[in-house]
Structure 1
Amino acid sequence: MEESNMAFNVGDSVQPKTGGRKMTVTAVNGDEVECVWGILGEEGDKRTFKAQDLSPYHEEGDFGVC
């Protein structure tokens, strides 16, 4: 599957393709995606990534249903 054309939307949970913490998309401008990690709506660390460097966030392991 080709992921370089993947579109992200504000509120999506993403992570760098190389791995890393869960981040939330706060803005999308063309192929640039601004992300924040921490709690959305509070002051957090922000960084802008190229869309092709991100993938949808997924947690490792099976946590089951509570």
Structure 2
Amino acid sequence: MDRKHYARDSLDDSSVLYAAAQVLTCWALDDEDDPRRWLMIRTDPAGLTLLGPLVAPRWGQL
């Protein structure tokens, strides 16, 4: 996993895993069989609803 933004955005593995686990629904933003970009609606620890993008690495890059 690319962690170049972890320090800048005060992220750690547990916060990223929490965000991924709280997804209510999502849509692929790429027109291909293996999309990298997703738009997700999720909740945060305070119960607020958030809309945000996710750019995932290709499976071969994990």
| TM-score of the two chains, using structure 1 as the length reference | 0.35
Q: Which gives a bigger RCO, structure 1 or 2 (Cα 8 Å, sep 6+)?
A: 1
The structure with the greater share of residues assigned to helix is: 2
Q: TM-score, normalised by structure 2?
A: 0.37
The structure carrying a bigger strand percent of its residues is 1
